[in-house]
A and B are shown apart, each in its own frame.
Chain A
Amino acid sequence: MSERPRIATDTRERRVGLWFGLLCGVTLIVCTASLLFGAGAIGPAQSLDTLLRALTGRMTDDNAWFAIESLRAPRTAIGVLVGAALAVAGALLQAVTRNPLAEPGLLGVSGGATFAVAIAIALGADAATLRVPVAQFGALAGCLAVLAASRVRGAGEDPVRLVLAGAVLSGLLYALTSLVLLFDERTADEIRFWVVGSFAGRRPADVIALLPGLGVAGLMVIGIARPLAALALGEHVASGLGHRPRLVRLLVVVAVALLVGSATAIAGPIAFIGLVAPFVARALAGPDVRATLWLCLPIGAALTLGADVVSRLVVRPSELPLGVLTALIGAPVLVAVVRSRRLPTL
């Protein structure tokens, strides 16, 4: 009797491992594409040639190498980090609210980070490094507000109500952001392009500023993955297994704030990645939150970076704002989630 479930678990784990490997391969391919394609005159063939020469140690200091090393490489790194962070944040939020529609962009977490950064810029903060803690703080406030809303009687059981509460909060926060921009035209100039999301023009130092926050969040997620899975079975079961549901929820909130805050600080608010990636991950791996979290890493990275590559190619010699593109991908998925099932609570 005890054999059968274990075999089932083993095959499931193997399947998840297989998918994970496969998706990491896809992410690598997208990363390569990100190094090869750009909005400029340096095409994929020339880029490949330069890249191969650099790999064999015959580096040159020409325009092609400059475009790859100084322009495309940082945004590739940012794409991978931001995508993975947003996907994991989405999966965490969905697990803790038991709601497949919970998404940082929809629930006001990104809105909180955006508002905080807008205020910081309006007050004269110029350094990109300062934006990271400010955005994380804003995301934390947004997170807590949404979870408070989800505690309101009845809202916890109804996924759509949580999304409505989040939509109200998002609307409020974006209205406040607009208000800041109206009062301070200098901020408007600086922030106008930031709020539509972009990876362009970031420096390696900006990427490094993200690493501590993301590292801490990563360790926290490893620590809370198991209790979170237990929590999916119900609060009583989780308590019975020796976990503390309140502590787990708090840790999830902090981790989400760190992840979303870091991502928003460097790239601006990028919607729907936190919805789409966990949605795909669950379709591949089933409902186990640990498997979902693992698969979210490569899915989020490949999706976000892929969108960035497309954004460089569609309106050359300019670039499409990344937030526009992810919304175009994400909105149909949102509709599909709402329509296809009876919104199962996770």
Chain B
Amino acid sequence: MSFFNAPRTALGVIAILVLAVFAGPALAARTLDTAYGKVEIDGTPERVVTLYEGALDTAVALGSKPVAAVATRGGDSVAHYMQERVPGIAIVGTARETNIEAVVAQRPDVILASSNLSEPQYRLLSKIAPTVVPKHSYFAPDAWQNETRLFARALGREDKAEQLIQAFDERADKISAEVPAGTEATLARWMPQGPLVMSSKIFAGRVLAAAGFESPEHGDIADDRPHSDPLSLENLDRIDSDWLFLATLNADGESALAKARTSPAFERLDVVQRDQVVPVDGQLWTSASGPLAAHAILDDIARALGIASQP
């Protein structure tokens, strides 16, 4: 035993010395407050695996290069708006199901997961690498900002988090100044037998609110649900508001709009008559989160309002 161990220990010591030289001031070990208790992370994790769309977005925004991610809902790779930023990233599961073996194969230093990761899954994953699960629900106010801070701490890039949040706030305020007070916006996903109204508590709803839009609340959506059940076409007037952002699960918002336009009930809506329906990418608007997604959504809003889209 010791015969085999001795060279390894020596190698380890050399490796640490080399790292210490090249990594500059080594990061101190830090304790993260996560949904499943305290998690210790040391140094700057190199191999980052993200099991949540918001974690991938945040990690990339923070300047990290995750090695693996999960596919977006309704697709077989990461969301459209992310594809150019992480070319060739390994896919280790879907939003619903993680392929544990694929995660092991990535030899991660840290795993970033979503707040609804189950405890049995957590126990499995935390055996592979320190697993960071946000404490607050996805539907909580400031969820994405808190996730950004948490993931930034995990990745050793804490200073960057506040910069990202501040940059978003500044840009959202600029757009908000252009939006008249009391302007309402609804986000809906089109289905042939009636639309799903998305909750204002989901990520895109928070971004809309930050950009100065108000949300007409109907009480149709339970607190812990991202959207209503498909509304009856007779109740289509509930998605009528000053602006309607219309998505499908697919990336193709235009086809959602084309489909909706074949419905006479849709054509009767005031917002359609006023031509203030904005077709949007469902992957971005109804399942993504994080700083990059926030800016991409602000891009869409600025384009719809016809104001300067650059931050």
Contacts and interface: CB of A to CB of B under 8 A. Distances in A.
Interface of A: 38-42, 63, 66-67, 70-71, 185-186, 188-190, 193-194, 198, 200-201, 203, 312, 315-319
B232 A312 contact: yes
A19 to B, nearest CB: 34
Nearest to A189: B249
A38 B234 contact: yes
Interface in B74-123: 74-76
B76 A185 contact: yes
Given A38-B234, A70-B264, A201-B233, A318 B74 contact: no
10 contacts: A38-B232, A42-B234, A70-B264, A185-B75, A185-B250, A188-B74, A193-B191, A198-B193, A203-B264, A319-B232
Interface string B174-218: 000000000000000001111000000000000000000000000
Given A193-B191, A319-B194, 17 more contacts: A38-B232, A41-B237, A70-B264, A71-B234, A185-B74, A185-B76, A186-B74, A188-B74, A189-B250, A190-B192, A200-B233, A203-B262, A316-B232, A317-B231, A317-B238, A318-B231, A319-B232
B233 A41 contact: no
Shortest Cβ-Cβ A-B pairs, 3 listed:
A40-B234, A39-B232, A318-B229
Contacts of B235: 39-41, 316-317
B193 A201 contact: yes
Interface of B is mostly: loop
A40 B194 CA distance: 12
A71 B233 contact: yes
Contacts of A188: 74
Interface in B154-179: none
Contacts of A316: 232, 235
Contact of B234 (A67, A186, A198, A315): A67
Interface in B263-280: 263-265, 268
A186 B231 CA distance: 21
B311 to A, nearest CB: 32
Interface in B214-268: 220, 228-235, 237-238, 248-250, 262-265, 268
B244 to A, nearest CB: 17
Contacts of A315: 229
Contacts of B232: 38-40, 200, 312, 316-319
B265 A193 contact: no
Nearest to B76: A185
A63 B249 CA distance: 30
Nearest to B263: A201
Contact of B193 (A63, A186, A189, A319): A319
Contacts of A66: 264-265, 268
B193 A193 contact: yes
Nearest to A39: B232
A71 B193 CA distance: 11
A312 B231 CA distance: 10
A203 B193 CA distance: 11
A42 B264 CA distance: 17
Contacts of A41: 234-235, 237
A239 to B, nearest CB: 49
Output the residue of B75, B220, B233 with the most chain A CB within 10 A: B233
B75 A201 contact: no
Nearest to A199: B193
Nearest to B236: A40
A185 B250 CA distance: 8
A201 B230 CA distance: 12
A50 to B, nearest CB: 14
A312 to B, nearest CB: 7
Output the residue of A42, A63, A188, A319 with the most chain B CB within 10 A: A319
Contacts of B265: 66, 70-71, 201
Contacts of B268: 63, 66
A201 B237 CA distance: 15
B230 A318 contact: yes
A73 B301 CA distance: 38
Contacts of B249: 185, 189
Contacts of B194: 200-201, 318-319
Nearest to A268: B193
A317 B221 CA distance: 11
